[in-house]
Amino acid sequence: MPAKTVPPGLFALFMAFARMSLAGFGGVLVFARRAIVDDHRWMTADEFNETFALCHFLPGPNIVNLSMVFGSRLRGLAGGVAAFAGLLVPPTLIMTALAVLYAHFGELEVLRRTLAGVSCAAVGLLIAVVFRMMMPLLKRADAIALVLMAAVFVAIGVLRLPLQAVLLVAIPASIAVTVALRRKVAA
């Protein structure tokens, strides 16, 4: 299991997720990865990738699922709820306040220009996260994983094939390859 050190308390979990959530402009994943793997060392890079991948393939917002799964792995259901609440309560209050402001000032052109600039930077950050998540695969020179990754990227991003159809093929294929390889190593 991830934490070899003493697992954090409920309040510490709430605060940690509130902090990464409030820092998480343009998406929380960047900050969650940094806090969990680099700062607190609650998980290794590979453990984080595997937990995130699980949450990615379950329905619903990934990072919200991640908070619940991660918190519960450290502190049971109460830990999951603490992380979930930390992640959602503060930004929901802020978002509600912004909704009220937008209802009054939404027509300003300068606001829209500013939002466009922020969006560009946010996509740049997303690209950087993808790159950092690829690092363990690149370091291992895991050719099969890299080919699977590239195939999904091309199918969804370039060919714009329907998500369900791609996953219906890609998930069994990837599991079959992984199982076959580990059998070979074990034999």
Partner 1 sequence: MNSENPIWALISTFGLMSLFAVGGAAAAVPEMHRIAVDVHHWMTDKQFADAFAISQLSPGPNVLIVTLIGYAVAGIPGALAATLAMCLPTALLAYYVSRLLNRPSQSRWPAMIQAALVPLSIGLMAASALILAQSTTHTVIAALLMAGVAVLASVSRVNPLWLLLAGGVLGFAGVV
Site string for partner 1, 40-79 (x = CB under 8 A): ---------xxxxxxxxxxxxxxxxxxxxx--xx---x--
Tokens of 187: 């034999």
Q: Mapping DSSP to helix (H, G, I), strand (E, B) and coil, where does residue 152 land?
A: helix
Q: Which of residues 7-36 bind partner 1 (CB under 8 A)?
A: 21-28, 30-31
By CB under 8 A, the count of residues binding partner 1 is 99
Within 8 A by CB and 6+ apart from 10, the residues are: 75, 78, 79, 82
**Residue number with CB closer to partner 1 (12 or 85):** 85
DSSP 8-state code for residue 26: T
Nearest-approach distance from CB 121 to partner 1, in angstroms: 3
DSSP 8-state code for residue 6: P
**Residue number with CB closer to partner 1 (5 or 164):** 164
Q: Which of residues 120-179 bind partner 1 (CB under 8 A)?
A: 120-134, 137, 142, 145-146, 148-153, 155-158, 163-164, 167, 170-171, 174-175, 177-179
Nearest residue to 80 (alpha-carbon basis) of 93, 66, 90: 66
**Residue number with CB closer to partner 1 (9 or 98):** 98
Q: Is 141 exposed, middle or buried (0-12, 13-18, 19+ CB in 10 A)?
A: exposed
